Structure formats: structure tokens, C-alpha cells
Amino acid sequence: AMPGIDFVSSIVLMVFSIGVVLRSIQMPRPGGWSSAPGLIPFFLATCTFFMGLGLLVSSIKNKGISQLVMKWKAFSPTQSISDTKVRRSLLIILFTAFYFFVLLGRIPFEFASFIYLASTLYIFWRKAGWLKIILVSALLPFFLSALFRVVFIVFMPGDSVFDWLVKYMK
């Protein structure tokens, strides 16, 4: 069944990668491409696209399409939706798409990342408890933003809380 799953996974990876590349290109480039916050997502999405393409070719060579058709005929929507792994996978895909296409660039990076991390950690790391989830979700985006803005002098997607501080301190 793996080549059939690989076929679907490769298509999803390639489509998602194209979306990330397009969004990365639309991000501002204040000092040229070297200062673009979308440079790393662009590079990673391009690599992911080609890995997905390799997976697609491998799947086709291993008769992934015929295996996918057999799986499709035996597919039961009610059984799939009741599977915890399927629900969690769909949720993480939705959260990631919401984070990337809705939150980033519209609200400060740190707030968008907090919302995303808190949501995903709640789903995948519940046993850690709310306090740890909130601490990690709050501290990690601020640390990364400060690191990139101050040390590497690279802008994060959208505004930053640090931009607000500079603006209000003047």
C-alpha cells in the first residue's frame, strides 16, 4: 500500500510547496533577496517540491496508482474520520495552512506563531499541560524573532512586536 500512499503524499507535498513558493515570492524584500523573510521558506519549499517529485516518480514506478485505486475502492469515509491519526493529520494540515496563508503577514509574527504553536502543541503534546504549552508557544517565537532581527538582521514575515517597540520608543 505504500506506493499508493506515496503517490497521494507526493501530490500534496508538491501542491503545498508551490503555495509556499508563491507566498514567499509575495513577501517584501526591503534590502533585496538577501533580507527577504520569504527566502528560507522559498528555499525549503523548492527542496520539498523536488523531493515530492522524486517520491511521485518512485511511486509511479512501483505501481502506486493501481494500489491507490484498490485502496480507494475499499475506502470507508466513516471509518477514516473516526481514526484519531487521520483527524490529527487533517487538523495539522489545516492549522499550518491557516498559519501560513491567513495569520502570517496580517498580525505580528510572534502573535501568529503563538496561535499556531499553542494550537498544534495542544493537539500533539497535551500531556505536557497548558503551562508548558503556553510557555513554549510564547517564548519560542519571541526568541526566534529577536535572534533573526538582532543577530542575523533578517526580517520575519509581517510586522514584529520588536518593530512596535521601536516605533513607540521614539
In three-state secondary structure terms, 104 is: strand
Mean pLDDT, the chain, integer = 84
* Residue 1, pLDDT score: 55
Phi, psi dihedral angles at 104 (to 5 degrees): -60, 130
Cell of 31: 534590502
* Residue 12, pLDDT score: 92
| Global confidence as pTM | 0.56
Tens digits of per-residue pLDDT, 1-33? 577 778 888 999 999 999 999 998 888 777 777
Cell of 150: 538582532
